[in-house]
Amino acid sequence: MRPSLALVDYVILAISLCLGTLSTALASPLYSLYILDWHITTTQIGYAFIAYMFGVVFTLMFFNHLTLKYGFKKIVISGLVLIVLGLIYSALAQNIVELSLARFMLGVASGFINTATIVGLNLNYPFQNKMNSAKISSIITVFGFALGPIIGGIIADNTQFPLKTPYYIISLASTITLIFCFFIREKNNLETNNISLKYWNYPKIKSNKNLFLVSSLSAFCCFSIFSLYAALAGTFLSNLSLEKNATFTGLSISIILLISAITQLSSKKMQEFFSLKFGLKLITIGCFLLILSLVTHNIKYLTCSILFIGIGHGLALAPSYYFIEKIVNHETSSIFSTFLLISYQGTIWPILITSYLFDKIGNIYALTIFSLFILAIVIFLLHLIKKTGLKA
């Protein structure tokens, strides 16, 4: 394959990966609009948000082997087809059940695309330093997640049909990308598929159990606090009486991820455990600053909360993946699947419970309970690191 063609294939796959994450994050700034338009509760919005993660976890557990069996090209195409159908279904949804089903479909599609494009991007990497392939894939993923909320918010605030138009626009972009995917030249080199693509099974960790626990729970905290913003930001930001609420909601979610990505890139030389501990502390402080912003109705505290959580997210998440990679290299690759399954629980149960508490006891008390929960996990992790004398 000529280098020019390899670059074209790489760009198409990169756009596919970006759309796979962008489409799932598109609805985040729209949730408060659903509450007003459909007259539903915050708890029901929690159901719609976590339906996506159930789709991702379902794919991770049962369909990871499909890329190895059929090749990345067919799975990427299948994922984009599901993305288009899921987005159109989201636009046509008339109630929370239909929206949740659409979100589940998008979760399955995202699982397909994330797994297959990582293989495809590695096989079609057109540049000299092959070691940077995984880093670029990670940046593309973060960029897609960051781009989704701000695009959804801007379109929603500037269109006559805010709960339909964002989905239709991104479904059109996905359809165009889907057409280009048929022209990708697939390499049949399964030896490069060094990630686990088999059915998930629970591995027995021979050593490094404490390090595995620290990594998994740290990622759990990172995913929880980001998901809190992604699912419920529109709800508690509505109390601040902001103009263009959907845009500001999307912007706040996007900024957290962009700050996290910049932090990860700029803190490579920082000692891993120092980065992890500092990041967890910043996340905790960010949670309580968010509460303070609601109590005082002061946007300055909200801005500080976004900044602290963004930096803390980057400082804590990068070491978590670093430690898991070390464990996987010494033991078995299925440990990474277990790490993801534990981490993804942070996007499900804390958000489901918090959204329920929003309706029962109010925003401030619900966020206080959530923050105390995160604080308890952070204290436990800091104690475990100190007690066991873990080292990088």
Q: Residue-wise pLDDT tens for the chain (392 aa)? A: 445 677 889 999 999 999 999 998 999 999 989 999 999 998 899 899 999 989 988 887 788 778 777 888 999 999 999 999 999 999 999 999 999 999 999 999 998 998 788 778 878 778 776 666 666 777 788 888 889 999 999 999 999 999 999 999 999 999 999 999 999 987 654 444 444 444 555 566 766 888 999 999 999 999 999 899 888 877 767 666 565 567 888 888 899 989 998 998 888 788 989 999 999 999 999 999 999 998 988 889 989 999 999 999 999 988 888 888 788 666 655 676 678 788 888 988 999 899 999 999 998 999 999 999 999 999 999 999 988 776 65
Predicted local distance difference test score (pLDDT) of residue 196: 45
pLDDT at 235 (0 to 100): 75
The CA distance from 246 to 4, in Å, is: 40
pLDDT reported for residue 241 = 59
- The whole-angstrom separation of Cα 314 and Cα 50 is 23
Q: Of 7, 150, 184, 8, whose CA–CA distance to 80 is shortest?
A: 184
pLDDT at 201: 56
3 state SS for the chain: CCHHHHHHHHHHHHHHHHHHHHHHHCCHHHHHHHHHHHCCCHHHHHHHHHHHHHHHHHHHHHCCCHHHHHCHHHHHHHHHHHHHHHHHHHHHCCCHHHHHHHHHHHHHHHHHHHHHHHHHHHHCCCCCCHHHHHHHHHHHHHHHHHHHHHHHHHHHHCCCCCCCHHHHHHHHHHHHHHHHHCCCCCCCCHHHCCCCCCCCCCCCCCCCHHHHHHHHHHHHHHHHHHHHHHHHHHHHHHHHCCCCHHHHHHHHHHHHHHHHHHHHHHCCCCCHHHHHHHHHHHHHHHHHHHHHHHHHCCHHHHHHHHHHHHHHHHHHHHHHHHHHHHHHHHCCCHHHHHHHHHHHHHHCHHHHHHHHHHHHHCHHHHHHHHHHHHHHHHHHHHHHHHHHCCCC
Query: What is the reported pLDDT for 193?
Result: 41
Place of tokens 């049949």: 188
User: How far is residue 94 from each of residues 40, 90, 172, measured CA to CA in Å?
Assistant: 12, 9, 21
Structure tokens at 21: 């994450």
- The owner of tokens 């990860």 is 264
Q: What is the rounded CA–CA span in Å between residue 99 and residue 354?
A: 20
Of the candidates 18, 19, 16, 28, the one whose C-alpha atom is nearest the C-alpha of residue 254 is 28
Work out the number of other CB atoms within 10 angstroms of the CB of residue 197: 20
- The pLDDT, as a whole number, for residue 233 is 79
pLDDT of 71 reads 85
| Tokens found for residue 368 | 């206080």
Helices 272-296 + 209-237 axis angle, to 10: 20
d(CA 142, CA 18) in angstroms, rounded, equals: 8
pLDDT at 190: 47
Task: With CA atoms as reference, report the closest residue to 107 among 166, 165, 36, 47.
Answer: 47
State the CB neighbour count (10 A cutoff) for residue 366.
23
Per-residue tokens: 129:
């330093």
Of the candidates 314, 77, 324, the residue with the CA atom closest to the CA atom of residue 196: 324
